[in-house]
Structure 1
């Protein structure tokens, strides 16, 4: 999106130009946080939208899987909104449609989000639907083949997207287990029946593991519904997951078509000052262009525009206790090799050759990215859910932006890199050939 601004100037007896940078203020949305009698933390955001949403944010991502049930989180996601003792899956879907609602389940590495979006006034019905998932899902064995079929379909669809494949592999190489677990169950999974999924559900569907986030809903009503519908929820304290450990390494996958190369390093947990530092570094050297035409404003963007169909983009993935920072390059194999060398050179010298203008540009992009993350219902739900589950407090958009106010550029710490090559691997680099 291209934004334009109108400049005006006043001329006096002495001609003087003063340039200053001012950031637009971001209005903080009213966020209310209450611990319910059921032991579940309830968060509501009033954004005055005509449609509402409510979500269960459960600490049940792929990270929570053990060596004996890798892939079970994917199965649990696909069991959402299936047959319960109160409603069949067909009835649930049909009633939601008649009310104009939308039901969804999304799995991430650290959480499972079960959501309902609907018109104001229907909160009670959709809260009941979500509570039924926790308490009344049948996990019937005759449903398992259909669930497995949908799991396999989603895995196949993801495998057809090189960007998903290469990032999944990067996490696997970087962390091995925990955050390294795939989001998609594969054929080697030991999950073989509905009982395995039910056992995992009983483990993760507990009060300390669940957060309820509502947008454009009455907080008092949401709190009362939580107290009544979740009064019998287990209060078992889940076992503390093994702390994430960064390993690094290399993975090469040969496939036809365009090539992809990821070079990543140990990052920082989300919400920390180190994470904010890496966000600025990301936008300082990112190779993506801000406009469709033109060569871009930094060296990597200009380099990518001169290579055949080559894209260079940096990423900064932050989790509760770890992170992954790096660059993703895609295009023709020979061009990817050349772009990778350029990216490494820029990364090595980023902190030593920064102009005030470049730093201001990167800082502005980092601030915009942080503010934009609070724009949609889905993003607000995930942000607030993760904040409460992993830190116990909510960080508003205003507080998120203040992280950047006093920041000074610092170099990235050296560590063993993670490298993933996908495509024509014979023409793609190894990490040790890039002069890291």
Structure 2
């Protein structure tokens, strides 16, 4: 091997994903990551904002905060001191369809990390005093989101695209729902839904599968024989998506906008081709949107595209932030750009560049234990087959120009939703979009909330 070349005549063998299922339905998945001295532990729960009623909007995220406050055996300070003493990281995040509580530690501290994560998730106390303290923290987080128009316009786009469906609601809830939520409601939500049959324990790094399983049996012992969850497992049906425009008028130096079209869910066989298409449109410095909107015309500093998928629905979107006087031109340019791809297709060179970008991103994104843990935990929770890195790279490489063109015609010809946040001015949108729905979200006359 030439020094620094990163190539070898001997193909590397990727350690397999190992899986065990324990009584009560808890699934344990692990993967060794060669050459590291750390490990990432994630307890994935198949509960997210999609599982909430309107009255409980934001409950899963509220619980993500609250469960760290106290367990039956530890205080919040105990948890913090234990993690600080081993130099690890303990955190969590909530999404539309799941929540993950995770720790990143030295390999010698894996058992302790499993203990801490399981203790927080299974035995968090949800005390009324903690609810009142953490309520203020979540309200501050909502206020912080409201002050970040790039975040807020994303939530507004979900509302425009999915309407009253739970996927249309903000993950963090609203000021009204968080203010009204009681400790009893949160305890009930936790008790009925956070059960082992809805959980995946994913661990990656310098670890041993058998040792992880033994730790899981130990720390989940009082829950593994429990009855399955009593909460309904059926989620609301897929949303019926209709093109909608939504706008929030607020002072500012920039207007933030998102144009989006619906896509299929995670099991869509065209998902790789859609990823290639999104990369071509707005996935990098050579993408069409970046080149046309920023480099050639100087209309925006930030412009990019993305694909977001759920179990049975999804969105392809393009974001741009620009001065209010440029909104109409930016929307028009994006409209022409998407129409040109539908009419004239993509170029083979673009497809090759996009596939190279995706392949590099996949490999670089799996270089550490946390990213490996996230990959295997999410796939197990979704019921997806665990594929190797080689299979993932082969899937990307197999995408053809014809497949990308076909996906473009299917996705980009659908009616689009538009979300806009910024100063509202006469004629700032093309005629077809001027009837945007102004969404009243001012909570104190100066700010914006969901």
TM-score, length-scaled by structure 2 = 0.83
Match of 2:99 in 1: 112
Structure 1 position 140, deviation (Å): 0.8
Whole-angstrom distance in 1 between the partners of 2:259 and 2:52: 26
Q: Which runs of 4+ in 1 moved over 4 A?
A: none
Would the aligned equivalents of 1:80 and 1:105 in 2 still touch at CA under 8 Å? no
Match of 1:243 in 2: 237
Q: How does 1:377-392 map to 2 (within 5 A)?
A: 377-392=369-384
Match of 1:346 in 2: 337
Aligned residues: 407
Match of 1:315 in 2: 306
Match of 1:196 in 2: 185
SS of alignment partner, residue 228 of structure 2? coil
Q: Are residues 297 and 278 of structure 1, via their aligned partners in 2, closer, same or farther at CA, if it must alter by over 3 Å?
A: closer
Judging by fraction of residues, say which structure has more helix: 2
Whole-angstrom distance in 2 between the partners of 1:129 and 1:97: 12
Match of 2:348 in 1: 356
Would the aligned equivalents of 2:197 and 2:228 in 1 still touch at CA under 8 Å? yes
Structure 1 position 75, deviation (Å): 0.9
Would the aligned equivalents of 1:30 and 1:47 in 2 still touch at CA under 8 Å? no
Structure 1 position 175, deviation (Å): 1.5
Residues 373-392 of structure 1 deviation map (CA, whole Å, 9 limit, x = unaligned): 43444433333222212224
Any gaps of 5 or more consecutive residues in structure 2? 6-10, 435-450
Whole-angstrom distance in 1 between the partners of 2:30 and 2:40: 10
Whole-angstrom distance in 2 between the partners of 1:51 and 1:431: 56
Whole-angstrom distance in 2 between the partners of 1:26 and 1:419: 46
Structure 1 position 29, deviation (Å): 4.3
Would the aligned equivalents of 2:300 and 2:323 in 1 still touch at CA under 8 Å? yes
Whole-angstrom distance in 2 between the partners of 1:187 and 1:220: 45
Would the aligned equivalents of 2:88 and 2:106 in 1 still touch at CA under 8 Å? yes
Whole-angstrom distance in 2 between the partners of 1:34 and 1:377: 19
Q: Are residues 369 and 26 of structure 1, via their aligned partners in 2, closer, same or farther at CA, if it must alter by over 3 Å?
A: farther
Match of 2:27 in 1: 41
SS of alignment partner, residue 87 of structure 1? coil
Match of 1:20 in 2: none
Q: How does 1:29-428 map to 2 (within 5 A)?
A: 29-48=15-34, 49-176=36-163, 177-189=165-177, 191-216=180-205, 217-233=207-223, 234-237=226-229, 238-245=232-239, 246-255=241-250, 256-270=252-266, 272-286=268-282, 288-289=284-285, 296=286, 298=288, 300-305=290-295, 306-351=297-342, 352-407=344-399, 408-409=403-404, 410=406, 411-413=408-410, 414-426=413-425, 428=428
Moved more, 60-69 or 304-313: 304-313
Any gaps of 5 or more consecutive residues in structure 1? 7-24, 290-295
